[in-house]
């Protein structure tokens, strides 16, 4: 069954790279409707601080849906301070089983600097291999580029920026207007 109310919504590339004790999450700024760029400067990477501990989140998919999920994640983190994995699993469980949430169309990458997860509406909480994760329309391009660069002398931020630039050169639904957040593991 297709949803004809919003045909052709595309956009977003989010990439996360863990290297040298830090995690960088980078996202492009393009939102498209069909062949039209609606906005080129959207912020799809955000830092939240539930309970005073920073967590960096990147999202792909419907913006309203992603904000709903970010709010839920923040509440889960407030209930389980410092336990990103538990909060992510609880969110994924709710997302999969809740009558309202299961219709949300988005994906999240979340990190507290130590842990890194991709959370999906299918109930997945995935810890990526090779310390690189990517989601969105240009996610596979960014993932391949970041993995290829991960053995270089570049740090996490430089790899994420370069991977997103490469994705923007290939994916028509990704631009080079980046939001970048870097976080280190809490001591």
Q: Give φ, ψ of 155 to 5 degrees.
A: -85, 175
Is 45:164 a contact under the CB 8 Å cutoff? no
Catalogue all structural domains in the chain, each as residue range(s) with its CATH number: 9-182 (3.60.20.10)
Q: What does the pLDDT look like over 34-75, one tens digit per residue?
A: 788 888 999 999 999 887 789 999 999 888 888 999 999 999
Number of Cα atoms under 13 Å in the Cβ half of residue 149: 25
> Catalytic site residues?
12
Number of Cα atoms under 13 Å in the Cβ half of residue 4: 1
Per-residue pLDDT averaged across 124-148, rounded?
96
- Give the global pTM: 0.91
Q: What does the pLDDT look like over 75-116, one tens digit per residue?
A: 999 999 889 999 999 999 999 888 888 888 889 999 999 999
Helices (H), 80-113: 84-97
What is the band of 2 on the pLDDT scale with cuts at 50, 70, 90?
Answer: very low
């Amino acid at each position: 069954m297709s949803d004809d109310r919003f045909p052709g919504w595309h956009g977003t590339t989010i990439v996360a790279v863990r290297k040298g004790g830090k995690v960088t999450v980078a996202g492009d700024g393009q939102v498209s409707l069909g062949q039209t760029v609606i906005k080129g400067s959207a912020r799809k990477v955000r830092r939240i601080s539930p309970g005073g501990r920073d967590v960096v989140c990147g999202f792909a998919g419907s913006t309203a849906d992603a904000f709903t999920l970010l709010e839920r994640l923040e509440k889960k983190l407030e209930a389980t301070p410092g336990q990103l994995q538990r909060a992510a699993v609880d969110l994924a469980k709710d997302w999969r089983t809740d009558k309202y949430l299961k219709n949300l169309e988005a994906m999240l990458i979340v990190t507290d600097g130590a842990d890194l997860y991709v959370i999906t509406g299918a109930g997945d909480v995935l810890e990526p291999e090779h310390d690189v994760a990517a989601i969105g329309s240009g996610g596979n391009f960014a993932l391949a580029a970041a993995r290829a660069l991960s053995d270089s002398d570049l740090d996490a931020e430089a790899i994420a920026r370069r991977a997103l630039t490469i994705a923007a050169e290939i994916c028509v639904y990704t631009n080079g207007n980046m939001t970048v957040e870097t976080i280190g593991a809490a001591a």
